[in-house]
Chains A and B, each alone.
Chain A
Amino acid sequence: MTGPIIRPYGDTTGDGMVQVSFTLPIPHDKRAEGAALQLAKKMGMDPALLVHAKPIGPDFTFFVVYGSVTHLVNLDEVEVVERAYPLLSAKEVNLEIKRRLRRKLVVVGACIGTDAHTVGIDAILNIKGFAGEKGLEYYREIKVVNLGAQVLVPDLVARARAERADAVLVSQVVTQKDAHIHNTTQMSAAFREAYPAGRVPILVAGGPRFEEGSAARLGVDQIFGRGTTPGEVASYLVHEISERKARAA
């Protein structure tokens, strides 16, 4: 591949082919098919090929459209948030914790608010882990306290204090009407209120709906999105611990 400009690949370089499917809230007839093609064109598909149209009940029509998009992708304009810390193995994480803390790193995790879906927090914390990587419970130098689902923020704060948590992980999987944002800001505010300045544990929020780069706005130290592995979280925690030590020194 040459140059920073690319187009989607169907079966030939540069053909720009994509597929989309969508539903329009009108009955299926010639006009509906025309409407679907108009939408495709406005999306930059030209020529667009309507390959499938099917009524869904009397008032809706489902379409599948293939076509070549006129848009060009400029790779030079793509922005990627690079990981600001090195990825360590479990062994390296354990060693680092031993060296920096000379005790176990305490992690308290929970699903807060009304969210009952522990798949995210469990994937990171449970020994079983995720994507073939063992969870934080597997790390000899990490003590994990997993509070499970629907934990109230005051209970989370109390438990974090009682356990002298170094880090608090909250997960928000199912969310509606931005509940994950409200819950997370409420959580971070509660920690800031309960701890003296500079002593707040590392606050980490995870879940598929968080935006990259929104950590500061939510009052947390780090956001993790879909597909995050336990190793990434452990590496981040170790990195942040040493950063904090360095700042304190």
Chain B
Amino acid sequence: MSRNPATPVLELDPAVVRRARSLARKAAAPVVKLAQRHTTVSVERATLRLAGLAGADHERVPWVNHLVDAVRDQVGLEHGVTTPVWDALMRGEAEDVTVLAQKAASGSVQFRMPQGRDALAARRAATRAVGTGLKRIDTARRTRDRLIARLGDPAQQPWIYLIVATGDIHEDIPQAQAAAREGADVIAVIRSTGQSLLDYVPEGATREGFAGTYATQENFRLMRAALDDVSKELGRYIRLTNYASGLCMPEIAALAGMERLDMMLNDSMYGILFRDINPVRTFVDQRFSRQVHARAGIIINTGEDNYLTTADAVEAAHTVTVSQLLNERFAKEAGLEDWQLGLGHAFEINPEIPDSFRLELAHALLARQLFPDAPLKWMPPTKHMTGDVFRGYLLDGFFNLAGAMTGQGILLVGMMTEAVVTPFLSDRDLALQNVRYVLNAAGGLREDFHPPRDGFIQNRARQVLSEAVELLERIVEDSDPAGDVPLLAAIADGTFGLMKRPADGGKGLDGVVERADDYDNPAITALDAWEPPTSAPTAPRRTGTTKGGAR
């Protein structure tokens, strides 16, 4: 929308930008190969979920976990879970996949790896079954497109993103609806802390979470339905966000696609660095989940803001750029389009340092200009919110201003009570007033804002970009005694966020399996072959139908 059609404002050297992208491609390529050589328990479980296997036993252990464990025990997962499962169904071990999982849980199913014609038949049957889930995802995408066409997108940019998190889905729903009525365009239901390390997806509607609400299929469905109601009431499609991260990233992605979630937090390295999840597990899970997101028309949000909460936002500015470039590369490889890349960054520079706001503008503009067609997710200050709520309110105002001046796509609303309490009703109202004031007063300022040639902002942006290129050069040259691919070696020696994560460490490693030659996964086959529809869906993007509003 509001991109000034005239010259870009930063005058970056196009050769340096090209160099940065080609280095990111070079760093990502061997990791993609690695992902294509492995599968994980969660990828296999996600595949079964696409084939319609849902529900859990009386101890709330999902049937997908039982079935994958049983197949793994008997024939291993290196061939993929579907071939032995549909072979067992064709041999009449059970009438459907749910009953099969129940029987397998009690140990009364014999699995085998079929050969020849049996194998072909099992694969065909599995492809049909998994196809129903993929069709459901396609239908959800069409439904979203239709609702957006009918109800419309937010009038202004950036889109206003608000978090609800009570732990109880039935409390979340009225809060989310109220937030939408107050002006939120995107509702994120933050997850219960600790869910990222659960190696299963909880079942059903949940009423008890810690600092968040569990991501479950039923919770997804309930919240999406509630937001559909409020969307109709408001005449504006309200988007729903959740988290495809942690050990169950692929399964959550599949559930999100089927239940028509609209945005998913999905970072390429966040789980490795901040949750100590095994790097190989993460990259395998991530590729699958991004392929699902691509097909589902989901906008991903990446987690670069997190780097700045642990490292210094000035010194580590280039690590954000590097991560954005890597996230972009992994996303494109998985089939995501530019409009689906909510690349993250944050307003986290210490407000005590001189020119902190100018530095923020430089960094935000750099991201804007490097990724002109990506929506960009703009995250509010957290690290320097001290408990002085008055000062925090001012800082959030500057954050909003930077977002408006630099054309960010998705603005996560900052709370002045950040780091004090979970936001009061009034905190949220005040925060939205803050956003509205700034967008009303200065939403069009981008048109007038042209940092002078070779001035402070241009120079700073160029400096960050060149530091990013240097870091990428070090990453693609990195090596370690274990002979890991360079990016994994770099992660192992603490290149990102100062955290050292070796490729053979971390949680979830035992769920990683090297694929055999006869590995088959009908979901991956279909996703690899999938092409995005030609009619582009909507996102907060630079061109298209979202003109107007605060502009």
Interface residues of A (CB under 8 A from B): 21-23, 54, 56-57, 60, 62, 113-116, 118-119, 122, 126, 128, 148-150, 174-177, 179, 226
Tell whether, in the assembled complex, residue A174 and residue B424 are in contact, meaning their CB atoms are under 8 Å apart: no
Report the separation of the CA atoms of residues A176 and B422 in the bound assembly, to the nearest whole angstrom. Answer: 10
Q: Using Cβ atoms and an 8 Å threshold, which residues of chain B touch A122?
A: 310
B471 within 8 A of A: no
B274 within 8 A of A: yes
Tell whether, in the assembled complex, residue A128 and residue B194 are in contact, meaning their CB atoms are under 8 Å apart: no
A sample of 20 cross-chain residue pairs with beta-carbon separation below 8 angstroms, ordered by A number, consists of A23-B425, A23-B426, A54-B429, A57-B181, A62-B426, A114-B193, A114-B210, A119-B309, A122-B310, A126-B498, A148-B499, A149-B274, A149-B276, A150-B194, A150-B196, A150-B275, A150-B276, A176-B210, A176-B211, A226-B387
Tell whether, in the assembled complex, residue A56 and residue B197 are in contact, meaning their CB atoms are under 8 Å apart: no
Report the separation of the CA atoms of residues A150 and B275 in the bound assembly, to the nearest whole angstrom. Answer: 7
B178 within 8 A of A: yes
B312 within 8 A of A: yes
Q: Using Cβ atoms and an 8 Å threshold, which residues of chain A touch B312?
A: 128
Q: Tally A-B pairs: CB < 8 A.
A: 62
Tell whether, in the assembled complex, residue B274 and residue A116 are in contact, meaning their CB atoms are under 8 Å apart: yes
Smallest CB gap from A151: residue in B: B276
Q: Using Cβ atoms and an 8 Å threshold, which residues of chain B touch A174?
A: 193, 210-211
Report the separation of the CA atoms of residues A37 and B196 in the bound assembly, to the nearest whole angstrom. Answer: 46
CB distance from B167 to the nearest CB of A (A): 7
B192 within 8 A of A: yes
CB distance from B309 to the nearest CB of A (A): 7
Tell whether, in the assembled complex, residue A60 and residue B425 are in contact, meaning their CB atoms are under 8 Å apart: yes
Q: A113 touches which one: B182, B194, B276 (CB < 8 A)? A: B194
Whether A62 contacts B429 in the complex (CB less than 8 A), given A114-B194, A150-B194, comes out as yes
Tell whether, in the assembled complex, residue A56 and residue B426 are in contact, meaning their CB atoms are under 8 Å apart: yes
Whether A114 contacts B309 in the complex (CB less than 8 A), given A149-B274, A177-B210, comes out as no
Smallest CB gap from B310: residue in A: A122
Q: Using Cβ atoms and an 8 Å threshold, which residues of chain B touch A118?
A: 274, 310
Report the separation of the CA atoms of residues A179 and B310 in the bound assembly, to the nearest whole angstrom. Answer: 24
Smallest CB gap from B433: residue in A: A54
Pairs of residues from A and B, 5 with the lowest C-beta to C-beta distance, nearest first: A114-B194, A114-B193, A62-B426, A56-B429, A23-B426
CB distance from B551 to the nearest CB of A (A): 28
**Which residues, 333 to 388 on B, are CB-close (under 8 Å) to A?**
383, 387
Tell whether, in the assembled complex, residue A21 and residue B426 are in contact, meaning their CB atoms are under 8 Å apart: yes
Tell whether, in the assembled complex, residue A116 and residue B275 are in contact, meaning their CB atoms are under 8 Å apart: yes
Q: B194 touches which one: A22, A54, A116 (CB < 8 A)? A: A116
Q: Using Cβ atoms and an 8 Å threshold, which residues of chain A touch B196?
A: 116, 150
CB distance from A115 to the nearest CB of B (A): 6
Q: Using Cβ atoms and an 8 Å threshold, which residues of chain B touch A62?
A: 425-426, 429-430
Report the separation of the CA atoms of residues A57 and B178 in the bound assembly, to the nearest whole angstrom. Answer: 8
Apart from A62-B430, A128-B311, 19 more pairs, CB < 8 Å: A56-B182, A56-B429, A57-B178, A60-B425, A62-B426, A114-B192, A114-B197, A114-B210, A116-B193, A116-B275, A118-B274, A119-B309, A122-B310, A149-B274, A150-B194, A150-B276, A174-B193, A176-B211, A179-B210
Q: Using Cβ atoms and an 8 Å threshold, which residues of chain A touch B424?
A: 23
**Which residues, 154 to 194 on B, are CB-close (under 8 Å) to A?**
167, 178, 181-182, 192-194
CB distance from B442 to the nearest CB of A (A): 23
